[in-house]
Structure 1
Amino acid sequence: MNSRFVLTGGPGAGKTSVLHALQQRELAVAPESARQIIQARLSQNLPPRPDPKTFAQDVLRADIEQYHKLWIEDEPTFYDRGVLDALYMLNVIGALSHLDKARKVVAHPYNEVVFLFEPWPEIYSTDAERDQTFEESVQVFEGLKQWYTLWGYTPVEVPKVSIEERADFILDVVEDVF
């Protein structure tokens, strides 16, 4: 059974907050690569993102590195987005062939259950690292839901409840499938 679990969805839906709650429970977590790239660029007084293709390629490289570096075989590991998220970005801009995408999907499997966070207007906000509109967040959510399903994953929507209740929900599902 694959012990790698992805938290995905639109920007600003609470993934990172829930990931921190899982980390506080001493579970293995991998932070979002895109946010780390944006932070590094801002610290160098660069725009948050380069062109979309370069940004998606940078995220993909970082996600693949995290995939191989951070994993505990017999314990759940939680990823704030995964390799498939970066592949989705590349797919949207038509930057990879279907064969290249398929090879990368097969080479980087996650648990078939993927935790999907729907955009939530009451908690959504922008900041220096998140400049997408709420409407764009909804588009990303819908696209990722279809994308993960296309590759054989089972998206499970995380309920819109408190951070701790969301973490409990995820751990209950993990206990059932792992």
Structure 2
Amino acid sequence: MPRLVVVTGGPGSGKSTLVGQLSALGHATQPEAGRAIIQDQVAISGRALPWADPELFAELMLAWDLRSYRAAAGRDTVFDRGIVDTVGYLRMLGRPVPPHLRNAALTFRYHRRVFAAPPWPEIYEHDAERRQSLGEAERTYEAVVAAYAEHGYEAVTLPRAPVAELTAFLIEAAGLAPVR
């Protein structure tokens, strides 16, 4: 059975760097939905942005994550966030979670262990897509970890360490197959 492994956490905690390193080493990965959606929506003057229409933004993230899930079929894959992250995102905002999103989180399952990158103030930076404050990043971390626990996952906290050390930790802890 392929391992579909999620790396989750708040913004600016090193998730994408870790997933990028795994990809560079030859592991199958799926990128984060949020950043790409923001870039696309800004390019087309769209409204599906977290600061303009969070519900529409969440719908696009769900669609992206469902596509990513299907694209990973049959092989070990590491995801930069997963479907359950969108549940946590909406809850953090105090918005209702639509029934179809709850159904998706229960239907499309990942490896029982998810890897949570804790807030890391020393590396946190704002950029064009990451407008959240460090406090919002911390609340996001708490919300997504709680959402994964509620959906029956075990959250493994990633150590704050150099990317090579994090990569080795995740490969071993997730039981990923060696890359050929």
In the superposition, the TM-score normalised over structure 2's length comes to 0.89
- In structure 2, the gaps of 5 or more residues are none
Deviation for aligned residue 1:86: 1.5
Summarize the Cα distance change of 1:176–1:15 in structure 2 as closer, same or farther, 3 Å threshold.
closer
Is the partner of 1:115 in helix, strand or coil? strand
Deviation for aligned residue 1:65: 1.1
* Cα distance between partner residues in 2 of 1:135 and 1:113: 26
The residue number in structure 2 matching 1:28 is 28
* Cα distance between partner residues in 2 of 1:39 and 1:151: 30
Residue 29 of structure 1 aligns to which amino acid in structure 2? T
The residue number in structure 1 matching 2:163 is 163
- Counterparts of residues 110-121 of structure 1 (less than 5 Å): 110-121=110-121
* Cα distance between partner residues in 1 of 2:144 and 2:102: 16
The residue number in structure 1 matching 2:106 is 106
Deviation for aligned residue 1:105: 1.9
Matched, 1:62 2:81: no
8 Å Cα contact 2:62-2:101 kept in structure 1: no
Matched, 1:174 2:174: yes
Deviation for aligned residue 1:47: 6.7
Deviation for aligned residue 1:6: 0.3
The residue number in structure 2 matching 1:131 is 131
* Cα distance between partner residues in 1 of 2:82 and 2:25: 21
Is the partner of 1:5 in helix, strand or coil? strand
Deviation for aligned residue 1:143: 1.1
8 Å Cα contact 2:7-2:81 kept in structure 1: yes
Is the partner of 2:119 in helix, strand or coil? coil
Moved over 6 A (4+): none
* Cα distance between partner residues in 1 of 2:156 and 2:76: 16
- In structure 1, the gaps of 5 or more residues are none
Aligned residues: percent identity? 31
8 Å Cα contact 2:12-2:137 kept in structure 1: yes
The residue number in structure 2 matching 1:53 is 55
The residue number in structure 2 matching 1:16 is 16
Residue 88 of structure 2 aligns to which amino acid in structure 1? Y
Residue 164 of structure 1 aligns to which amino acid in structure 2? A
Is the partner of 1:126 in helix, strand or coil? coil
The CA deviation string for residues 56-99 of structure 1, in whole angstroms up to 9 with x for no partner, is 1111111111111233x2x42000000111232344411414xx
Residue 137 of structure 1 aligns to which amino acid in structure 2? A
Summarize the Cα distance change of 1:165–1:87 in structure 2 as closer, same or farther, 3 Å threshold.
same
The residue number in structure 2 matching 1:83 is 83
Deviation for aligned residue 1:147: 1.0
In the superposition, the TM-score normalised over structure 1's length comes to 0.90
The CA deviation string for residues 17-63 of structure 1, in whole angstroms up to 9 with x for no partner, is 00010001100000001111011122234578141111111111111
